[in-house]
Amino acid sequence: MDQQHIVSEGIEPIACRREARFGRLVRIGALASAILLGSGIAACDLTGDARNAQQPSNPGAGPDPGDIDIGARSTESGNAERNEAAARANQASRERSDAPAAAESAAGGSDEETGIAAAPSTGAVRASASIEPVGDSEARGEASFIETDEGLEIIVTMSGLDPGEHGIHIHENGDCSGPAAEGAGDHFNPDGTPHGAPTDDPSARHAGDLGNISADESGEAQLDMTHDMLTVEGELGVAGKAIIVHSGEDDFTSQPSGESGDPVACGVIESSARG
């Protein structure tokens, strides 16, 4: 066998072996690629399964909060704003309703806290007099006149009197001038009747006869009576007249003034506003 034939026979097997080895490598690479691709697909399937497992299984549980329609959110926001506005309007209305009560409490104080109730207006016609000393006397006081359904209520309070009874009368003039208040004139007597006690028949007493006021040991006295003939204004009105307290007791019989002595205090009666 020549040398060329030997070389040819040695080279051909080597080439075959290399081709066979290359083919095996190609097949191994293809198999590895297939394995890697299969692993990736499996991983994707597992991830999808995990997401599906997190979704609620109850179809009636409602949509995912992240999927709520924007229009629905806007509607709910509008309703909330309208409800809040209505609540504010109701609160403002209550505050306005309470305001008069609050304003009244601030102006007159709280009757519940002080325990003092405000006196209602009676609408009555009133008059009053400040009774001042006459001459050297120290007697003084106040008188009020209030028209009622029963007649004219007369309230007199005095101090500085001698203890005992003192005649008290309405005189015809609203003038206390003079050393003995001579400007007041005689007893108020529009009907020309005789002098008498306030409990006598109107035909047997002067309209201005009030009887006596009694002073205690300290010289203080109070008279509270209702006169069935007198009024504040008018023909039998006391307004514009004088009230006089005398030094002695009225005996109700002596004419023309009951021998009650000199005046010790005199005041002009003035009408005041109603109520």
CATH number at residue 195: 2.60.40.200
Residue 5 lies in a domain: no
pLDDT for residue 107: 44
Six-digit token pair at 8? Answer: 């040819």
Residue 50 pLDDT grade (very low, low, confident, very high; cuts 50, 70, 90): very low
Residues of the domain holding 235: 129-272
Task: List, in order, residues 6 or more apart from 216 with CB less than 8 Å away.
Answer: 163
- pLDDT, one tens digit per residue, over 60-113 is 444 444 444 444 444 555 555 656 665 666 565 555 555 544 444 444 444 333
CA angle in degrees (0–180, nearest 5) for 150-156-161: 150
Residue 118 lies in a domain: no
Domain count, the chain: 1
- pLDDT, one tens digit per residue, over 150-166 is 999 999 999 999 999 99
- pLDDT, one tens digit per residue, over 192-240 is 999 999 989 999 999 999 999 999 999 999 999 999 999 999 999 999 9
- Report the candidate in 78, 117, 221 with the shortest Cα–Cα distance to residue 163: 221
> Is the peptide bond prior to 256 cis by the omega test (within 30 degrees of 0)?
yes
Would you say the pTM of this structure is higher than 0.75? no
Residue 95 lies in a domain: no
Residue 84 lies in a domain: no
- Of the candidate ranges 44-48, 141-145, 228-232, the one whose mean pLDDT is the lowest: 44-48
What's the farthest any 2 CA atoms get from each other in the chain?
A: 200
Cα–Cα distance measured from residue 225 to residue 198, given in angstroms and rounded to the nearest whole number: 10
Residue 91 lies in a domain: no
Residue 142 lies in a domain: yes
